[in-house]
Amino acid sequence: MGFPRQILLLGPPGAGKGTQAKRLSRELGLAYCSTGSVLRREETRPTELGAEIHGFLKEGHFVPDELVLKIVYHWLQAVRAEFVLDGFPRTLAQGSALDAFLAESERPAATAIYLDVPDEVLESRVSRRVCCDPCGNVWVRGEAPPKCPDCDGLVGPRGDDSLDLYRSRLAEYQNKTLPLLPYYEGHARLRRISGEGSPTEVFTRMMTALQP
């Protein structure tokens, strides 16, 4: 029995989910989707959906379950592949709906990895990071290229990384996402690891936790 092939990366904003999910995707040959990046791209489009998403994100609130599920279902139906999802699900309703969708599609249930990082470390990381919105790559301020080497997008601070807005996002995460942990624990599908340290150190812990 090998590594799980349908994986969910969970953790607070700033925990390093995107960095680890992309590396996991490359290492295990899994399709990769960041719901946060998809929503931020959709937010910039001159559409009714984009305006609706913008209204939630600018206040640091979660986008409603039905909109996020619609985006994720469309992606899963399109790729029909083993996957790693970055930052999804974000609510208990989304987790339950994903399980039902995978069961109906006759696909294995997903394994969740939780990156645990103290709040003070998260705030320090967020205050120093810059990123490329189109593809989600992240760098430390002062060490970033002017343009993303993967997509040629501009690199800069995220609009929702201001300290007040970040704390609003973190509070909503703690209220709505943390209840997912006992849900996956109850199904013996949760791997908890420390998200502190270098990206390589965290990745090593993650691969160890995923071993059968």
168-206 pLDDT, tens digit per residue, is: 888 989 999 999 999 999 999 999 999 999 999 999 999
Dihedral sign (CA 169, 157, 24, 54): positive
Contacts of 5 (CB under 8 A, 6+ apart): 28, 30, 82, 108
Inform me whether the pLDDT recorded for 1 exceeds 60.
no
Q: Please tell me the pTM assigned to this model.
A: 0.80
Helix 119-128, helix 163-176: angle, nearest 10? 140
Query: Which H or E run includes 78?
Result: helix 65-79
CB distance 36 to 21 below 8 Å: no
- Segments making up each domain of the chain, as ranges: 6-118+163-210
| pLDDT higher at 151 or 100 | 100
Residues tagged active-site: 17, 90, 129, 158, 169
pLDDT at 161: 62
Domain 6-118+163-210 has CATH 3.40.50.1110: no
Contacts of 27 (CB under 8 A, 6+ apart): 207
